[in-house]
Amino acid sequence: MSYTGNIGKQPIVQTNQENMNSPEAEKAASTVNLLFERLSTIYTSFRPTVAKIYGQDANKHMQDLKAEWTKQFISEKLEIEDIKRGLEAARKTTNSFFPKCSIFIEWCKGFDQNKINKSWSHYLNRRIGEKWDDPMTFETAKRVGCGCNELIANLSGNNTEKARQTFTEKYTEILDDIKNGFKLPELRLVLEHKTGSNKNRTAEDKERIKNSAGCQDFFKQFKKGVE
């Protein structure tokens, strides 16, 4: 099956006919159709806006959009509970615009931007020896494999946004693992773990990180930003 829009105006979506006739594809397409009906009642301006922008091509645009969502749903293998979680997030969001498929999938997976912002902030500000706020931040930091100073200065070339992206990728990885049965460490054990990733470093490594020009520049800038 092929969906083709005007070049430059709509994306070209080509889907293998055999794959689209599979039970998984039919289930995904049916789910997306029902989902669009639900989302259209939440985002009431969506259909009128599409009609206004695309005019006589509105139906064609909707089919192209649904085809893209169907491809993503096949890839992600979302379950009914995931969809319910995504719809609940859609109802709670203060954003009045219809979500991108990638955003909705993040909602389905339990990705909460406010929570990850809080987790990143704690990771960014925490000092060696201080307690961890929660198991999720602790587990993410453990998978990143280094302290914040080292992540920013050495692994990310003193680029805070790149470091944040690395942290976010590990955070999302844990959400997927939780869905598959992974259990976060007990809060009691997390609170007792105060030494952080500095525990097994050599004295030379500690001194190198402490004296890193990248770290010094970053924390000078960070201090100015919060003063």
Q: Per the structure block, which two tokens stand in for 172?
A: 């999302």
Cross-strand bridge partners of residue 13 = 3
Across 203-224, average pLDDT: 47
Please state, in angstroms and rounded to a whole number, the distance separating the CA atoms of residues 9 and 29.
24
Residue 178 has pLDDT above 80, yes or no: yes
Please state, in angstroms and rounded to a whole number, the distance separating the CA atoms of residues 11 and 100.
14
Residue 190 has pLDDT above 60, yes or no: yes
Residue 12 pLDDT? 31
Nearest to 166 by CA among 178, 156, 154, 180: 156
Residue for token digits 């009906």?
37
Cross-strand bridge partners of residue 2 = 14
Residue 141 has pLDDT above 90, yes or no: no
Spatial neighbors of 24 by CB under 8 A, at least 6 apart, are 74, 77
Residue 50 pLDDT? 92
